[in-house]
Structure 1
Amino acid sequence: MTGSGRRSARSRIKSSTDDDDDGGDDSIRRTRQPNLKSLRDRSKRRHSSIGIFNIDLKIMLGVSVFALLIIFFLIQHLVKPAKELQRPRVVTPFPGPKLMDLPQFQGEHKESLYWGTYRPHVYLGIRARTPRSLVSGLMWIGVKDGRYHMRHVCQDSDELSTYGWTQHNGRDFGHQVLVDQDLKLGTSFLKSKSEDSGYGGDWAVRIDVQSENSEQNEEIQRNGHLFFYLANEDGGTLSLGGSTLDISENSLLASGTLADVGGWQLHLVSKDSLEVHYSGFRTPHIHNLSELVQQNLAAQIRKFGQLQLSDSTEDFPNILVFQISARIPFKTDIVFVSGTRGDKARVEERVSSLTGTALTHQLQDRQMKFDAKFEQCFKVADKLEPESTIVGKAVIANMLGGIGYFYGQSKISYPRDFSNKDRDNFIAYWPAELYTAVPSRPFFPRGFLWDEGFHQLLIWRWDIHICLDILGHWLDLMNIDGWIPREQILGSEALSKVPEEFVLQHPTNGNPPTLFLVVHDLLHGIEKNKFAPAERNEITSFFEHAFVRLEAWFQWFNTTQSGIQSFVFCGCSTPLMGGGGRE
């Protein structure tokens, strides 16, 4: 094998010189010279190939890095969205424009509803229609069987003989009466808008404290203790008006800044002799505020034997509580002014316009307008006795005064085919807001889908704009399948009022679609010319945009809740329609 290989090589050399003469040194030299040249050429070609290879290697490295970048980009922008698409349909929003983005719900309409008594679960609570709001509220110390009890959250165990709105227009005015044993409280709420006001305007609260039994002589009955508070849900620090609060010298209680309204101030004005104390807290939650206040009072009683707040604050407080104490009877006005820009004289004028005699006249004016609108809407003066008319006014007032604003995420039970990697028993709905009436302030101070249909049969007759706003909020909660969670438990305050076993919402459960009763009512009203032209146009525009959601909702009912016969649905007592509802 080796020998033949060598012979073959020689044969190749020889064949390359077939044109030369046989033998001779010249022939050999002529043969060798070209071979040396060929070797030099080959060497050059080898060096040239190595250079080209080096250049190719740089290009290849560059291309490889570029390819890796492209792969990384694809992973981030294609693979990640693909994973997101794997989330259950139940928490996927309906693929359509939100109704609350319609022009009719923007501008003046939206601003006019910015502040309100939108915390129906407390006896008196004010907030804005925004996810992170400045909220305020009232507590007081009630006395039962010779013992002190803190009142704040509406609950039957407080055994108030009376509480509720006697007048409320749903927008800028309300009056409420609360009777707690021998203590009678009257609370009035009023909104005002001046050219200097920030977004949403200013508001005032009047608290009138009276005794139901003037013959009581005990000290425990002769002094009243109110607690009015401000809390910033966004966590921003609230500034105290001063280390000592003497409202006879300075009415300023607190101040701060909000993104929506700009600078703001809270003032306390009264002609009675008041004693004011305070305490500041730093906490991310306000649903346990009652406990914080009671703990502060208990510590003061143990140390000093006095029922008063500590006149101290934690660092950077986002909650300020003001204790207002006086001999009963007494009256006090609390004013929130927005858009303050350092013009002290102008701020004082605005505070003066919302306190004292000026506030009294405005409240009387709103009361007369409420009575006139009640008659205009329901025309019952010739049909009902005066006592029945008072009841009717209380009904509409409590319906409107029970409207609340909520923000948060519903907890939805996991679909059977969904992998639960987080080991929770729920998946969160998307963050959402809800503006709605509530069925019951002490028991159900949150949104219930089928109750809302009945609520709106009354509310649209009072204020069609509020009605459409509420309908829009509910329909915007619809998911891609046309399902709307039947009970809305949004935010920590709402969650604190619900037993854990009733928190989860089940995608298989529905409530009777009572909102269609409102749809029918409004369309019938248009046919009968019950609305002014501008109102008719707004209703028509709303339903043109809402139709796709209403149709999806109908289809969801017709496919998931259908009975044996066409257009016959499962009864409310079955698991499909009941699902742990209110009994």
Structure 2
Amino acid sequence: MLGGIGYFYGQSKIAYPHVSPHEGHDNYIAYWPAELYTAVPSRPFFPRGFLWDEGFHQLLIWRWDLRISLDIVGHWLDLMNIDGWIPREQILGSEARSKVPEEFIPQYPSNGNPPTLFLVIRDLLNGIERNIFTDVESRDVTSFLERAFIRLEAWLQWFNITQSGKQKGSYYWHGRDNKTTRELNPKTLSSGLDDYPRASHPNEDERHVDLRCWMLLAANCMQSISKFFKNGDIPGKEYASTVKLLSDFELLNEMHLDPTSGAYFDFGNHTEQVRLSWKEVRGENHHLKRELVREALERPKLRLVPHIGYVSLFPFMGKIIPPDSWILEKQLDLISNGSILWTNYGLRSLAKTSSVYMKRNTEHDPPYWRGPIWMNMNYLVLSALHHYSQVDGPYRERAKQIYSDLRSNLIRNVVQNYNQTGFLWEQYDQRKGKGKGARLFTGWTALVLLIMGEAYT
């Protein structure tokens, strides 16, 4: 992880306002010349800054060198524009640009990325509260939070303005293609979970449960910072109403819970009757060619999107579910069921029962978040299991046992792959545990060290 920290300088390409990512990539303007000090997911494969990866990186790095971590977070916040938007990928300089297909270089000001930097900020606030820092470190953290407050506030406001849904307290990731004829399920790149299945027909009625949970994390942090500085220079802005709204358990269940399965789902315009079929289509110069084309066999309707996977676990990972709730027992059932999420190597990203489990999204896009095991999400699940195993409730012992088994499976598999190949991997196969994707992926896969040390956010 430390070897992946680097300094980059250059200008991002920003798409013109109101230009869709699906309308070509020639219309862009240059962001201001900027510097970025950051950890990267993989130096040879992804030598650039990824906003949502960075929050996970810093969970490890701040424990090694607090000042470097604060410096990195500060660099990211300094890339914020006047609206409070941060480009989610920082493709700065020729090295970084050489690794990215041209169509993916422009960044879209309408699209966000999970605000995972708040994971680090929550850690730092907890550290001050528990007195784990030296006096000098505490002053460094408080000084940083005081200077960063206005940017963090603008960032949260950007999400509230641009990513809010039709129903109060709902949110959805912008940037999905509602006109695609090529993708089995239109990707949600802004969520960080790429091809994880959402509503089959994107529209403004969508509600994404993961984004709602990210927003609660952000609002909680802002409320804590406001309280911390209530007698200082930071205005004591009231975040309690936002926290109260987003932590309303009954409202969360009304929007996203399927009582039968006890699983949380997205909501949107959806049908399960979608497939990719080979068709003859007319291409350039009017030549016919065979392509995989999407077809819907029935009209979609507004409903919960019935795919169990990482997104379904966000209220659990956010520790929002009361420890005595029957829903917690259902969550533990889903996690520990080998026919759904459980494997001997970690939790798979999408249940075997999903209609798109391990299915390609296009002719050229193999499954990515549709089955393989990812360390960042497993880390958050372990953090929640550890929490529920420590608090009083009827499911405490069961959470403790699942925690122990999952932790052992993850550590054993990562270490075994490392001994066999010499690498940490981007993801791991859910059937045999074999490392997949980019090797030398010393980004969030390095969270295995925190799992070993039982150091959770």
TM over 0.5: no
Larger radius of gyration: 1
Structure with higher strand content: 1
TM range, smaller chain: 0.3 to 0.5
TM-score for both structures, normalised by structure 2? 0.37
TM-score for both structures, normalised by structure 1? 0.30
